Structures are given as C-alpha cells and as structure tokens.
Amino acid sequence: MNLERSYRRLLLAYPSRWRDERAEEVLGVLLDGAEARAAHRPAVAEAIDLVGHGLQARAGLTVRLLDERTRELTAVLALASLTALSSLCLFFGEWWPWPQQAVPGPDIQVAAFPGTPGPFLTAGGPLMAALLVPALLVVMGWPRAARVMLVGLVPVTVALTAVAPLLDVNRPALWTLCGLLAFSALALLAPVRRPALLAALAVGLFIALAYAVVADLDPSYDPRPNFYYGYLLQLLTRLVPLGVLAAVAVAGGWRAVRPRAW
C-alpha cells in the first residue's frame, strides 16, 4: 500500500476537526521521517503512537465541547452525588443494623447472600468506603490526590463488576455500579474546588438523610438485602448513565454531520 495512504489511514484515529486543522502538516512530518529512514511502510511504534494520541484527542475534544463553567459545575455535582450515593449504599445497602424482629427467620443477610466476605453485605462495601475518600481529600485541600484516587477507582469498579460473578462473590446491583462509575467519570471533567463541593455535599447529604428518615419511618420498608433494588435508587442509577450516553451520542452526532476535509 502507498505510504501516504497508510499514514492517512492511521490519522483517521484523530477526530475530523483535528484532521481538518493538522493532518496535512503531520502527514508532511511523517513522510519526511519515512524518507530519512528509507521506510516504505509506517513503523509499528509509529502506528501505536498515532492511534494512541488520536484516541486521546477524540476524548479531549468531546470534553472540550463543554465550556469550562459547565465542566466545573458537572464535576462538583458528580462528586457530591458520588459521595451521597456511596454513603447511602454503604450505610443502607451494606451495613445498616436493622432491628432483628423486622427480619423473618434467620439473618436474611446470611441467608440471602451465603459466602459474603463480611463485615459488609457484598464485596461492594470496601469500594463504597473508598469512594467517600475523594471528596474528603478535596475538603482537606488535596484536589490532585482526589483526582488520582478517582482515576484509580474507575478500573477497580469495572473490575469488581466483571470479576465478582466469576469468583462467586456478591456485588451490588449492576445499575448501582454503573451509576457510581458514571459519577466518578463525570467528577474527573474538571478540578473540584472546596467551597463549591461543600455546598453541593450539604445538599447531597441532606437528600441522603431525608431518604434515611423516610426509610426508617416506614415499618414495611426493609431495605436489607433489597436496598440495591429499591425504586428510587434504581431510578437514579439508571437515569445518570443514560444521561451520559445521550450526551455522548449528541456530541458524536454533531461531529458526524460536520463537513470533513477527508
């Protein structure tokens, strides 16, 4: 295959807007380099470099379609929601000491989930506890550490979702994990500032507390072990990932209908 055509194919990894601005220039550099090496096809390392940076540019361009204030607001609300949702799940879904008389027969946690590693109801307990830490780090004035921890927790959440069924370990409901993942990813859109987070946390934790009071007042409501399948929680954790998908689809569609140079 023609060398120039091979490079053009590799450059397809970049978004069309980037290619409109840069492709001819980068192509010139690539062809100059190939000529100097007397190469007839792109080197493997070169191909990996182009595709990797192209995909990074695609991700970056999608993020940059949102203006800075929108990104900051989204990140603050996502981190506050992540903290509130993780608190709810940790307390209600994993640990809440419900009165024994509300539970028919033997301990329903053990009956419903044999083999649970404990002290939590599912393997999601330690994850929920870890997900509270990023907000704490921001409040303590370490926003960079919070971002690093969020980046680390995304693959942990994905791994827990994928590996738990294989190891026969119980995990929280899939939609709950998807919601937590979506909140974690959205919280990475921009650095989060302490005053904004404190305000958002106050609202988020108030909603969590209100949920707790309503659940406690209703004698027929036994969230254990059905907490993860409660109507409100399912609605929340389904709406958020769907919202993210819709936003990505709109952004992708907008880029697709733009005229392209090649």
Partner 1 sequence: MTEQMREPTYLVLAALAGGRQHGYGVMQDVAALSEGRVQLRAGTLYGALERLVRDGLVTQDGEQVVSGRLRRFYVLNPAGTRALAEQTSQRQATVKVAVRRLRALGVQA
Binding residues for partner 1 (CB under 8 A):
22, 24-33, 45-46, 49-50, 52-54, 56-57
DSSP assignments along the chain, one per residue = --HHHHHHHHHTTS-HHHHHHHHHHHHHHHHHHHHHHT-SS--HHHHHHHHHHHHHHHHHHHHHTS-HHHHHHHHHHHHHHHHHHHHHIIIIIII----GGGS-SS-HHHHHSTT--SSSSSTHHHHHHHHTHHHHHHHTT-HHHHHHHHHHHHHHHHHHHHHHHHHT-----HHHHHHHHHHHHHHTSSPPPHHHHHHHHHHHHHHHHHHHHHHHH-TT--HHHHGGG-HHHHHHHHHHHHHHHHHHHHHHHHHHTS----
For the CB of residue 79, give the shortest distance to partner 1 in the complex, in Å.
Answer: 22
Of 186, 231, 233, 178, the residue nearest 207 (C-alpha)? 233
- Measured from the CB atom, the residue of 28 and 152 that comes closer to partner 1 is 28
| 49 or 216: CB nearest partner 1 | 49
30 or 80, CB closer to partner 1?
Answer: 30
Nearer to partner 1, 54 or 126 (CB): 54
In angstroms, give the least distance from the CB of 100 to partner 1: 55
Smallest separation (angstroms) from partner 1 to the CB of 47: 9
- CB crowding 143-175: b at 16 or more within 10 Å, else e: beebbebbeebeeebeebbeebeeeebbbbbeb
Q: How far is the CB of 1 from partner 1 (least distance, A)?
A: 18
176 touches 207 (CB < 8 A):
no
Task: In angstroms, give the least distance from the CB of 76 to partner 1.
Answer: 23
Query: Smaller CB distance to partner 1: residue 32 or 168?
Result: 32
Smallest separation, CB 29 to partner 1 (Å): 4
CB nearer partner 1, residue 50 or residue 180:
50
Q: How far is the CB of 22 from partner 1 (least distance, A)?
A: 6
Nearer to partner 1, 22 or 260 (CB): 22
